[in-house]
Amino acid sequence: MSEENRKIAFICSKGNLDMAYPALIMGWAALGNGVDVTLFFTFWGLDMITKKRVNKLEIAPVANTSFKFSLMGLPTGNLGIPNIMGIIPGMTAFASWFMKMKMKKLEVPPVSEYLEMLHDAGAKIYGCKMTVDMFGLKDKDFLPVVDDVVTASDFIDMTEGAQIIFI
């Protein structure tokens, strides 16, 4: 396949903060390498492209065995926090704040800004029609970067020959 025909498509199915960034980061890298990029948002992934949810994405530390952070600047090493602490009220808010703080320090744009950058650079952004209908969403509910709401079949046709990554 020649370079001008390279295509990659991401299926974004999760609305957690930690699941939002992989497709955005890889999509941006692909665009920088001249690859056509398509993002398809389905189920909870629609939270990433809805006006009411995009700035409220969270990361839940419970059942996330890889989640580690420093308490008061003291490294936790490989121990992290005991998983059971994830059920303490406020831990999701704290974990979300902590991740956003780390991302800001690294100058990583917020999800809505990243989507705008991707769209402005030529990425195509679609919502899943079945999920949109199931959740009762309307066009007005979506960020302006959403090109259209399409069926899964349409998405498959549009991305023929693309490398597909499911997140």
**Using a CB cutoff of 8 Å and minimum separation of 24, what contacts does 21-25 make?**
21/103, 21/108, 21/111, 21/114, 22/167, 23/165, 23/167, 24/111, 24/114, 24/115, 24/118
Domain presence at residue 75:
no
89 is a domain residue: no
Helix axes of 91-105 and 17-32: crossing angle, nearest 10 degrees: 20
Q: Which residue has the higher pLDDT, 94 or 1?
A: 94
Whole-number Å distance between alpha carbons of 44 and 50: 10
Structural domain total, the chain:
1
Rounded Cα–Cα distance for residues 69 and 18 (Å): 14
For helices 17-32 and 111-120, the axis angle rounded to 10 degrees is 20
Q: What is the pLDDT of residues 34-55, one digit of tens each?
A: 999 999 999 999 999 999 999 9
Residue 46 lies in a domain: yes
128 contacts 106 by C-beta, under 8 angstroms: no
Contact by Cβ (8 Å): 15, 44: yes
Please state, for a pLDDT cut of 70, what percent of the chain lies above it. 83
Residue 48 domain-assigned?
yes
* One-character DSSP codes across 93-137: HHHHHHHHHHHHHTTPPPHHHHHHHHHHTT-EEEEEHHHHHHHT-
Average pLDDT over residues 81-99: 76
Residue-number span of the structural domain to which 42 is assigned: 3-55+109-166
Distance CA(12)–CA(48), nearest Å, equals: 9
Flag whether 23 is in a domain. yes
* Confidence category of residue 67, pLDDT binned at 50, 70, 90: low
Residue 88 covered by a domain: no
* Residue with the larger pLDDT of the pair 84 and 150: 150
Kindly state whether residue 81 falls inside one of the protein's structural domains. Answer: no
User: What is the domain-level CATH number for residue 114?
Assistant: 3.40.1260.10
Q: What is the pLDDT of residues 120-130, one digit of tens each?
A: 999 999 999 99
Q: What is the pTM of this model?
A: 0.85
- Based on its alpha-carbon atoms, the radius of gyration of the chain, rounded to whole angstroms, reads 17
Indicate whether 28 belongs to any domain. Answer: yes
Q: Which residue has the higher pLDDT, 62 or 48?
A: 48
Percent of the chain with pLDDT over 90: 68
